[in-house]
Each structure stands twice: as C-alpha cells, then as structure tokens.
C-alpha cells in the first residue's frame, strides 16, 4: 500500500470533508460528471441502482444521507491499491437519532 497514492489521498479528503460536514469541499472532490454509488445496486437512496451522476445528483445524495447524520466516522482497517483506484476496508460509524450504527464497508475511490 502506498500512503501517497492519489486515490488514497482523494479518499481521505472525502472522509475528512464528509465527517466535518463540509458539503462544498466534499462536492469539489468530484468531477463534473462524477458518480456516487453508495451502496452499489438498488437501495432506498437509489431505487434503480444506477448511482448518482453529476454534482447536482451527488449534492442531493449528500442531503439525503450525510446531512442527516449527527456524526460520521470512518474507521479504515486496510487500503488496497490497484492501478488508479483504491479500496478502503473498514467501518463507517454513523450516529443517527442518538443511535450508533456501524456498517462494514468496502469503499472504492478512483
């Protein structure tokens, strides 16, 4: 694992901005035609499972998810780097309505 890998740097910047509720900073990390698939496949956030494409859709995703949490913490156990991408393996700890929810995640950035 290379700590200085560009995808790892981007992932850490995303985690930091999301945890600190810095929406504009978080959105600026995405290309104009960027896509967020969280989770991958159909979900309550994305019934068709096609992802949130473009900054406007990504901003709406932020408003539906990150903005509604009391706190958000990324507990990364491992980072796998390959080509232009990295996968963060760990837990996202979310506090929502006073409840702590730990979700095991494999998050790809690249």
Mind listing the pLDDT tens digit for each residue in 96-108?
999 999 999 988 8
This prediction has a pTM of 0.87
The tokens for 70 are 């009391």
Q: How many angstroms separate the CA atoms of 51 and 47, rounded? A: 9
pLDDT means per 10 residues in the chain (110 residues)? 78 95 96 90 89 94 95 94 91 96 89
At residue 2, the pLDDT reads 45
**Domain residue limits, the chain:** 6-109
At residue 3, the pLDDT reads 57
What's the distance, Cα to Cα, between the start and end of the chain in Å? 15
In angstroms, the Cα distances linking 64 to 7, 36, 59, 100 are: 25, 13, 9, 18
Q: How many angstroms separate the CA atoms of 52 and 82, rounded? A: 24
Question: Mean pLDDT score of the chain, rounded to an integer?
Answer: 92
Check: CATH 3.90.79.10 for 6-109? no
Mind listing the pLDDT tens digit for each residue in 67-85?
999 999 999 999 999 899 9
* Centroid of chain to Cα 80: 16
């Amino acid at each position: 694992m290379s700590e200085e890998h560009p995808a790892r740097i981007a992932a850490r910047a995303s985690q930091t901005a999301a945890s600190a509720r810095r929406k504009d900073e978080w959105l600026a990390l995405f290309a104009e035609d960027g896509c967020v698939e969280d989770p991958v496949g159909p979900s309550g956030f994305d019934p068709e499972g096609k992802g949130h494409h473009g900054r406007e859709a990504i901003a709406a995703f932020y408003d539906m998810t990150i903005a509604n949490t009391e706190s958000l913490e990324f507990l990364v156990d491992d980072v796998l780097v390959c080509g232009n991408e990295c996968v963060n393996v760990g837990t996202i700890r979310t506090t929502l309505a006073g409840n702590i929810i730990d979700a095991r995640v494999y998050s790809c950035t690249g």
